């Protein structure tokens, strides 16, 4: 019974470093631009050599595909969050400028709705330059 326990323990001690190695290598090789199939083929060979373990064909390939999806999605989400933040700041500033424009226009007694486009632009420029 102790022999079985020793073998199981050895397998457990091998499994964790092997899994960590696979995760790190998949990320590194995806960054290099390798396909999931190439990664599967190379890593299975290396794992057999270094960890003396067999992995079914396609197992690492599937994990590489899942990792690629996760990495692609995290990059997309980061970019979209940045874009959304930039848009919201721009909208906030534009709305603040609009409110200030209308407040100043009301103070001087002019109604922008009744002005022509040229007059509105001219008034807006004057207000922004603090001429009015």
pTM, two decimals, is 0.50
Q: Tens-digit pLDDT profile for the chain (132 aa)?
A: 323 333 334 566 677 888 888 999 999 999 888 999 999 999 999 988 888 888 899 999 999 999 998 888 765 555 565 666 677 777 777 777 777 776 766 666 655 556 677 777 777 777 777 765
Which of 29, 60, 37, 31 is CA-nearest to residue 47?
60
Rg of the Cα atoms in the chain:
32
Number of residues that make up the chain:
132
Alpha-carbon distance of 128 to 122, in angstroms, equals 10
Distance of CA 73 to the CA centre of its chain: 6
């Amino acid at each position: 019974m102790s022999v079985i326990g020793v073998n199981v323990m050895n397998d457990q001690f091998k499994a964790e470093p092997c899994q960590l190695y696979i995760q790190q290598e998949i990320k590194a090789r995806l960054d290099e631009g390798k396909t999931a199939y190439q990664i599967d083929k190379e890593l299975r060979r290396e794992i057999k050599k270094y960890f003396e373990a067999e992995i079914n064909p396609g197992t690492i390939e599937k994990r590489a595909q899942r990792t690629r999806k996760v990495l692609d999605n995290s990059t997309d989400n980061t970019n979209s969050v940045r874009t959304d933040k930039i848009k919201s700041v721009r909208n906030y500033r534009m709305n603040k400028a609009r409110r200030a424009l209308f407040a100043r226009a009301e103070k001087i007694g002019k109604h922008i709705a009744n002005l022509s486009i040229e007059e509105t632009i001219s008034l807006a420029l004057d207000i922004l330059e603090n001429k009015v």
